[in-house]
């Protein structure tokens, strides 16, 4: 069976930066309050005339350039988004049009903040079962447009961003050696964003992002620890052989709580929360891109997504 690897990744974020000091002028909060509770100092936010799709296209073009790959060779695009610019066409087809990938199939998926790991898992399966050579997994999120900026508990958390990763079975590097997807549907209402019915009926309070912070904290911390302790065994590894963990960048309190015991094994948690905030399914890709040059051949990386659904996903990479 063909091995699949990630050959390149690229990201794109809006130029507009919304700092904690900017938020102090918008809502009852302070820089100290936000940093203490989230670890976030600033986030990138789309301007009203900007489209997240354009940022995904930019990321996809750059990722293909890094991989020395022409768009004509892209066989599929899987786009993760819970916040597309349009319901139809799918973001995947808009990206394909934008980069000139005219021989592809594609679709969008919504697994909330687990979307990037879901996308990699599905892409790996497709490439192995259909003998495909090249594909793109993207994540494009504009959660800032689904926020109530009078709610200080949620509006300080999120930023906007786009990511694109090239996957290949042709002389692959950075091998994907295990993937997993899962969910706890009984907790589906713990993270919500409304839809068309709420807009039609002008139910804005139900349309905006809402979450049960306490239950999400417990779920995320426990799931990160569980995946770290059990998932590497799928390929005969011990947890302490994992060099780096790249978790979904939800909240620094979550990451610190999860890392407390794990880092005693020498495993390093990576984060960039303070400069991007929570970018939903784009967050893991942002860290992977920022830290790309840090990794050495033979390092094991564990990507862990968790979020609305409640969903979770994991990707184990051998660099």
44 part of the active site: no
∠ CA 40-42-46, nearest 5°, is 125
- 318 forms beta bridges with 175, 300
Which one from 248, 251, 271, 289 is the annotated catalytic residue? Answer: 248
| 159 neighbors 279 (Cβ within 8 angstroms) | yes
Q: Is 64 a catalytic residue?
A: no
Q: How many Cα atoms within 13 Å fall on the side-chain side of residue 75?
A: 14
113 is catalytic: yes
Which residue is it, tokens 């947890």?
Answer: 239
Asked if 100 and 141 touch (Cβ cutoff 8 Å), the reply is no
Contact 184, 215 (CB under 8 A): no
User: For the chain, how many residues are written?
Assistant: 319
CA distance 271 to 87: 31
CA 135 – CA 156 distance, rounded (Å): 34
CB 224 within 8 A of CB 269: no
Q: Which of 44, 58, 64, 113 is catalytic?
A: 113
From 58, 251, 278, 289, active-site residue: 278
Q: Which residues are catalytic?
A: 113, 248, 278
């Amino acid at each position: 069976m063909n091995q699949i690897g990630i050959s390149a990744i690229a990201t794109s974020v809006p130029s507009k930066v919304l700092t904690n000091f900017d938020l102090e002028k918008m809502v009852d909060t302070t820089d100290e309050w936000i940093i203490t509770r989230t670890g976030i100092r600033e986030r990138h936010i789309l301007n009203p005339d900007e489209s997240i799709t354009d940022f995904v296209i930019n990321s996809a073009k750059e990722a293909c350039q890094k991989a020395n790959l022409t768009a004509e060779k892209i066989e599929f695009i899987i786009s993760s988004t819970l916040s597309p610019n349009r319901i139809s066409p799918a973001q995947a087809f808009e990206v394909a049009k934008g980069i000139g990938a005219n021989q592809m199939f594609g679709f969008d998926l919504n697994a909330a903040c687990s979307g990037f790991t879901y996308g990699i898992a599905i892409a790996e399966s497709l490439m192995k079962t259909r003998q495909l050579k090249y594909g793109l997994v993207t994540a494009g999120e504009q959660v800032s447009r689904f926020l109530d900026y009078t709610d200080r508990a949620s509006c300080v958390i999120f930023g906007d961003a786009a990511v694109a990763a090239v996957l290949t079975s042709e002389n692959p590097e950075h091998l994907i050696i295990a993937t997993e997807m899962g969910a706890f549907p009984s907790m589906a209402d713990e993270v919500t964003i409304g839809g068309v019915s709420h807009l039609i009926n002008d139910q804005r309070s139900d349309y905006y992002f809402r979450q049960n912070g306490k239950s999400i904290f417990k779920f995320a911390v426990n799931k990160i620890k569980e995946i770290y302790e059990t998932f590497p065994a799928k390929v005969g590894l011990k947890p302490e052989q994992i060099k780096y963990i790249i978790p979904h960048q939800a909240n620094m309190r979550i990451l610190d709580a999860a890392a407390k015991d794990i880092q005693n094994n020498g495993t390093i948690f990576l984060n960039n929360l303070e400069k991007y905030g929570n970018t939903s399914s784009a967050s893991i890709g942002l860290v992977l891109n920022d830290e790309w040059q840090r990794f050495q051949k033979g390092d094991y990386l564990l990507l862990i997504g968790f979020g609305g659904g409640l969903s979770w996903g994991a990707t184990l990479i051998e660099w």
